Amino acid sequence: MSELFNVLTIPFLLAMFLAVTMGGSGTAPSFSAAYGANVIKRSVIPGLFGVMVLAGALIAGKQVSLTLGDGLLDHSFFTPVNTSIILLSVALSLLISNLIGVPQSTSQSTVLAIAGAATALNGLNTRKLFFEIIPFWVLLPIISFLIMFFLTKWVFPVLKSKVLTYKFGEINQNGKWLKVLLVLSSLYVAFSIGANNVANAAAPIASLTANEIGSDSIKNFMPIIILSVLIVAPCFAIGSSLLGHKVTETTGKEIIEVTPFYATVIAIIVASLLIFASVTKGIPTSLVQLNGAAFIALSISKKGLKSTFKNKIVRRFFVVWSVAPIFSYFLTLILISMFK
């Protein structure tokens, strides 16, 4: 038992470190609107975020865990060294993104890190990557963009309701139902993060643990995944507390000033698409890109295409979104090739 503990210590610590960085990224799309409207105190956000992430992972995260734990790369390749390199590569790419202040896709970094390992080990499931996962990555942000653009361009202007224009400072005196909706949508997004993103850290260490315990444990893989989730998910709350504030400011204010109503609509659209990807196909999907696409759609409908893409934050988003997953892929590929 002590030997098993020693083997698993470093991978589990790296998985927890990765979960901390994911907590920093995930806080922005979850609670930025409710916090900005003074509907919820900053001190309680990490706790609520952690609870809902755990619930989402346990209730709706099974398929994503199976995709990352065995779908792209056979579980037998998840050795202590390989697993540690995968988790380290993802954590470094996300930590850099958080420090820059741009929320990055954990799922894309994780998938490409595993793909990098699989390439080095000649075990990549190319069909899963190129015909299932990547098409979802392209399609879902487009859907998020189109839904939000349609609503903000042609549906909401017809409504002419004061609720649409309430600013964050005005919501305390008006729109009591909007306060409730803000909180519920925040919890909903956190739940969707648990359903999709916890597996990025939990699935690799679950496969590693199963390998170290023995072949019989693969037949009972779900209890190992659940145990991994119970260890990893609380670290999201820590990351939310330590790293969440800067990313929240970037997403919520520097693309376009958004009212509580529009922030709530974006949250519902994004969380619904993420849960759909999680429970139907088990596809690890980028919440921050779905969120960013919806914000860009809102900006284009309000300010126009040219003005939106002049925004340096929008341009920085696309650069970081492109570079970080590729960084994870090549770092993992190089390191595993060296240790192989």
Tens digit of each residue's pLDDT (9 = 90 or more) over 251-304: 445 555 678 888 899 999 999 999 999 999 899 998 888 988 998 999 999 889
Q: Which of the 8 DSSP states describes residue 76?
A: G
Is residue 31 helix, strand or coil? Answer: helix
Predicted pLDDT at 239: 84
AA identity, residue 208 = L
Give the amino acid at 211. Answer: N
Work out how many domains the chain is built from and give that number: 1
Residue 259 parent element (H or E): none
pLDDT beneath 70: ranges in the chain: 1-5, 98, 101-103, 168-175, 215-220, 243-257
State the pTM of this model.
0.90
Q: Which domain holds residue 89?
A: 2-339
- Least Cα distance to 213 among 16, 9, 69, 1 occurs for 1
pLDDT digit string, tens, across residues 303-320: 898 888 887 778 877 888
Residues 6 or more apart from 278 whose CB is under 8 A from it? Answer: 60, 61, 63, 64, 192, 195, 196, 285
Handedness of CA 151, 247, 109, 184 (dihedral sign): negative
Q: How far apart are CA 200 and CA 24, in angstroms?
A: 15
Give all strands (DSSP E) within the chain, no chain letters: none
